[in-house]
Amino acid sequence: MMQLRSKENTICGIYCIENLINKKKYIGQSVNIYNRWSSHKGELNRHCHCNGHLQNSWNKYGEDNFKFYILEKCSKENLDEKEIYYIDTFKTLNEHYGYNDKNGGQDGSVSKEANKRRKQSLKKYYEENPNKKEELSKRAFKQWSNPEIKAKILGENNGMYGKTHTKEARQKISEAQKGHISKYRNLTPVLCIETNKIYECSAEAQKQLKITTSILEVCKGNRKTAGGYHWQFVENNI
């Protein structure tokens, strides 16, 4: 049975989520390990974890058949190096040994195979829960109608409020993203606030509505609108 110890002082390091039945592991890093575990657990129990392979196993075996533990405490500067080391040591990129879909480090990229598994996992979830999209749409629309929540998204509490990326900054972002697959690409449903419609992913929404600006940037709080509409992810509401 998985048991989380009482919270200690903030711990920075590498952690492992292990399946007690098949011994598969998920390796991760965090500057606050116990908070990170709480986040993992919450997403897994809401069926909205970004790692489809881990999510499917959690659904199949149940929370009691996983354990969480710390592999190594280290400084923030050494997190990337240590995470890459443990992912390689335990071979967790191999789906027969683990659940990782990135090679570790902040610049780790998602493999095409992992991205495909995520999309299949989400598709399966909606097939098994046909009313879920409508529920999510209504819930997200209700949240958007709340003045306090709307103010946080559009007002001064938004990190990009009153700011725009310079041409040079946009170019740097573009260069940095080349060769990497976004964890949201072909995976996370998005909601158009004005029409109250959910699309399978941002790319599908942009294609259908012929929008050239990035819906993802709106969902991540870096833009206010795309195509004249407001958008948000519905992943965390599943």
Q: Which domains are assigned to the chain?
A: 13-126 (3.40.1440.10), 131-237 (no CATH)
Per the model's pLDDT, the better-predicted residue between 130 and 114 turns out to be 130
Burial of 122 (0-12, 13-18, 19+ CB in 10 A): buried
Residue 29 host element (H or E) = strand 25-30
Give the Cα separation of 96 and 180 in Å (integer): 24
pLDDT tens-digit readout, 23-49: 999 999 999 998 899 889 988 988 878
C-alpha pair distances (Å), 77 with each of 74, 84, 167: 8, 13, 30
Non-local (6+) Cβ contacts of 135 within 8 A are none
Helix extents (H) in the chain: 33-45, 52-61, 79-89, 112-128, 132-145, 147-154, 167-177, 202-209, 215-219
Give the Cα separation of 112 and 161 in Å (integer): 34
Residue 109, pLDDT > 80, answer no
Non-local (6+) Cβ contacts of 128 within 8 A are none
Give the Cα separation of 15 and 73 in Å (integer): 9
Classified as helix, coil or strand, 127 is helix
Per the model's pLDDT, the better-predicted residue between 63 and 234 turns out to be 63
13-19, strands of its sheet edge to edge: 25-30, 13-19, 66-73
Which pair of structure tokens corresponds to residue 95? 């789906």
Are the beta carbons of 176 and 182 closer than 8 angstroms?
no
Residue with tokens 């080349």: 178
Please state, for a pLDDT cut of 90, what percent of the chain lies above it: 29
Average pLDDT, the chain: 76
Are the beta carbons of 185 and 203 closer than 8 angstroms?
yes
Residue 181, pLDDT > 50, answer no
Per the model's pLDDT, the better-predicted residue between 143 and 234 turns out to be 234
Average the pLDDT over each of 75-79, 94-98, 199-203 and give the range with the smallest value. 199-203
Residue with tokens 């990009």: 160
